[in-house]
Structure 1
Amino acid sequence: MITGEFRNALDEKGRLMVPARIRSEISGNVLILTRGIDRCLWLFPPEEWKRIAANLLSNTSPFNSRARLIQRKLIAPAQEVEIDRTGRITIPVTLREYAGLTKETIVLGIEKYIEIWDEAEYQQYLTANESEFQEAAEELGGLVSF
């Protein structure tokens, strides 16, 4: 299970250290990186990405404008990235620009995938969505018991 919240910095070449705890949960050294929703990047193990991409493509049509939008935003920019010997991945410039990644980042492990955020962007997102989080937590309260 991939979980955790980590702060890491991009280096001058656009490389990001994948936290050791996350690396230990990933088999192999290749991941799939693509645009996420909410101005972050999504990082998937290849088998999980294949499942999601196949599901998206089999349930959408290129003749539907909304389906094309999803395909163009999520599927088209997806790229394989390799974890190097020191545990880093290189984030392509186009994806760095999309997510507004500058220097400081937040890496979130969310069970089956990873989100990469610019730290300031993530803090703004959390602040802007606090009341919505409270409402969502209230709704889930009936579904989850401790």
Structure 2
Amino acid sequence: MVNFVDEYPRQLDERGRIILPSKVREKMSDTIYVTRSMSDKCLHMYTQEEWDKISEKINQLPTATDRNAAAFVRLFFGKATSAVIDKQGRIPIAKRLMEYAGLSKDIVLVGANTRLEIWDSAEWDSYQNGLSDDFMLEGIREYGLNI
């Protein structure tokens, strides 16, 4: 299993591509998957291995008999895109995904364990500034983490 940590300030080039940091590229296969976050104004980037795990879980949903499950599957996979990392370590981000996340030229790749999140730099700063100083401590208590 791949674990992503750290923050990586990046810039989108004029063609909507991101140069992945070498530390990130080392953990990636040639193909990556990018989809919308379900909870925040950012994108989620997955390795092939992690995408396969997610797909396997989603394939268990009763899409033939449950309209909500079918709608979820359509939106989750229909709004996602796959990309191949080129020889310069770049990945293209689909325009519709860039618009969804409000990405400008300055972005941040944020390690989120089994995925990377792609945030507009200003949106990432705003998100962090909106969290209370005790947010991490509250999370440790709420989720029963002993770290």
Give TM class, smaller chain: 0.7 to 0.9
Runs of 4+ in 1 over 4 A off after TM superposition: none
Aligned to 2:77: 75
Counterpart amino acid of residue 29 in structure 1: D
Aligned to 1:96: 98
CA distance in 2, matches of 1:129, 1:68: 34
Question: Counterparts of 1:42-121 in structure 2 under 5 Å?
Answer: 42-61=44-63, 63-121=65-123
Distance change (3 Å), C-alpha of 1:68 and 1:118:
farther
More moved, 3-12 vs 61-70 = 61-70
Aligned to 1:32: 33
RMSD: 2.1
3-state DSSP of counterpart to 2:6: strand
Does residue 136 in structure 1 map to residue 139 in structure 2? yes
Counterpart amino acid of residue 139 in structure 2: A
TM-score (norm 2): 0.84
Write out per-residue CA displacement over residues 51-82 of structure 1, whole angstroms, 9 at most, x where no aligned residue.
10221231343654543443244221221111
TM-score (norm 1): 0.85
Q: Which runs of 5+ in 2 are unaligned?
A: none
CA positional deviation for 1:144? 1.5
Q: Count residues with an aligned counterpart.
A: 143
